[in-house]
Amino acid sequence: MAQDGRDTNRLVDVELDESIGRSTPDVEHERAVAIFDLIEENSFLPVGDTGTGPYRLKLSLVDARLVFFITRENGEKVATHILSLTPLRRIVKDYYMICESYYEAIRSSTPSKIEAIDMGRRGLHNEGSQTLMNRLSGKIELDFDTARRLFTLVCVLHWRG
């Protein structure tokens, strides 16, 4: 174990519930990049876990709630956290709408318009990431970059949910 916990306080696998299905190429790309980035670099520690990671995470939507099913790398159950999506609903909806505008702008707009839309997109993404981090407070310790990548995955779940 690394002295600072980076080898154990992390995710080594992220799975999205199979009922989510496939989506548009843009959404699929966002999901793949977020999962890759999340696994490459993250800080993730279930609060109160007396064992050691690294951890696996399965995200799903059940009855309009976000489910975090956490296991150790060997499959041993660690925790399940269920969060209401209500605090994220408006942000996710706005983020999805601005992402659609962004993808359309990439195809047909000027660089200055693309940049303006992207600034708004990043601002909403940061707001959603902070909200998710706050909702997970006391359940899972994570840094802001990890929260950003998780928020992207929450959006993908919501878009298909």
Q: Is 44 helix (H, G, I), strand (E, B) or coil?
A: strand
pLDDT of residue 51: 80
pLDDT of residue 1: 37
* 161: pLDDT strictly greater than 80: no
pTM given for the model: 0.83
Give the separation between CA 12 and CA 23, rounded to whole angstroms.
24
Quick one: which H or E segment has residue 18? Answer: none
pLDDT of residue 44: 95
Which own/partner contact pairs does 63-68 have at CB distance under 8 Å and 24+ positions apart? 64/161, 66/154, 66/157, 68/136, 68/139, 68/140
Give the separation between CA 161 and CA 66, rounded to whole angstroms.
10
Backbone angles phi, psi at 71, to 5 degrees: -130, 165
Predicted confidence (pLDDT) per residue in 37-49, tens digit: 899 999 999 999 9
pLDDT band at 52 (very low <50, low <70, confident <90, very high): confident
Tell me the chain's radius of gyration from C-alpha atoms: 16
pLDDT of residue 96: 84
pLDDT band at 20 (very low <50, low <70, confident <90, very high): low
